[in-house]
Amino acid sequence: MHKFNSRILSVDSGSLKDEIFIQVNPTEIGAAKVSNKGIFYNILIQNVKSVVANVIKQEMLSVGGDAAVARGALDISVERSNVVIVGNLKQLKLFAMKIKAQPFSMKFLGSELLKIIDNFNKNSFILKSKDREIHLLPNKTYIMGILNATPDSFSDGGDFTNIDTAIKHVEQMLKDGADFIDIGGESTRPGAENVSVDEELRRVIPLITLIKREFPDSFVSIDTYKAKVAEEALIHGADIINDISALKFDNNMFDLLIKYKVPAILMHIKGTPSNMQVNPTYHNLINEISNYFREIILYVEDHGGDPSNLIIDPGIGFGKTFTHNLEILNRLKEFKSFGLPILIGTSRKSFIGKILNRPTPKDRINGSIASACIASSNGAKIIRTHDVQQSVEALKIVDSIRKEGID
């Protein structure tokens, strides 16, 4: 067993080519060929006609890959089927070339598959906000510090309603390494009641104005689903819209993206803050969240917006059970198929309290940091947190391990 000193390599698919060079010293072409064969993708194709599903399966088999189809698709006893194809990059490229000759929509499938593979491997992004660019670099996780100017937020309600205290907290978060500051004037905790537009404006506009005066280079996001609040915040210096409804609660929100040319964080929510935790159920959680994002992204693209200026947030705790939250974090990489930055906010949330038996939100910092590290490892580009210093330090370790040392 030990005669040849064999072992299974634990390098991920993205590092396989480099590892082949280190271990074997092959030719460039040889390393590329072998590494491409070692990168496997399991790709879901939803709701295709059974006859198309069978063609996909046969073509994948012909290039050395495979596909799973519904049992009724084989004899056309069901009209439609989901398909899961499994293949390496070389096989998928051959498959894409072959089906270009197929009729109807089949010819577009190959291009779509190659596009989502490119998206999945994307690790750097450029967001445009007014006259500035926000560069999200490879192998770095970015931190969004939370500032709730509210009396009733679940973790820090009432802590920062005084503007002097709030500004000192912003200064500390920036000093600790926050890349963004997220300002909210209405609690969206489970069961929260709405506040008026005027009250929300009263809470956030003086704060944003002062932050941009004191820290003009900072990037500020406004956490609101109300277009009037968002617009006033943008006028007074905010750079990003963070909308828990993904532009759905206020029809005027989309127009602001076009008018002000700013990034938008689109979060998935089921229901509203007042009822979202009343028995949230899904037929297929990840499929439904993905389809939700796909619908909005296509709408932005079809109506003159810039889909590359979007950030997606699966919405931990927003219409999700304990089990849903864990599944999202475990399968977070699937959302990389959109080719957009992923934001995750697990900070001090109740599922962490349940795991650790910590009923008080401020006692959940350790669990929050652990969940942030998992989220980053699984594809999150931005972590939204109450605890900036701890998050920055923990994620520096994650990022350094991922790129094998500090540059």
Tell me which residues are annotated as active site.
349, 384
3-state helix, strand, coil split of the chain in percent (to 5) is 45, 15, 35
Closest to 12 (Cα-Cα) out of 43, 35, 32, 45 = 35
Contact call for residues 355 and 348 (beta carbons, < 8 A): no
Contact call for residues 310 and 264 (beta carbons, < 8 A): yes
Beta bridge partners of residue 220, listed in sequence order: 181
User: In 181-221, which ranges are continuous DSSP H helix?
Assistant: 197-214
d(CA 370, CA 63): 41
**Going along 121-250, which residue ranges are E strands?**
125-129, 132-136, 142-148, 180-184, 220-223, 240-243
Closest to 267 (Cα-Cα) out of 243, 301, 292 = 243
d(CA 219, CA 217): 7
Structure tokens at 275: 């009822």
- Dihedral sign of CA atoms 240, 243, 248, 253 in order: negative
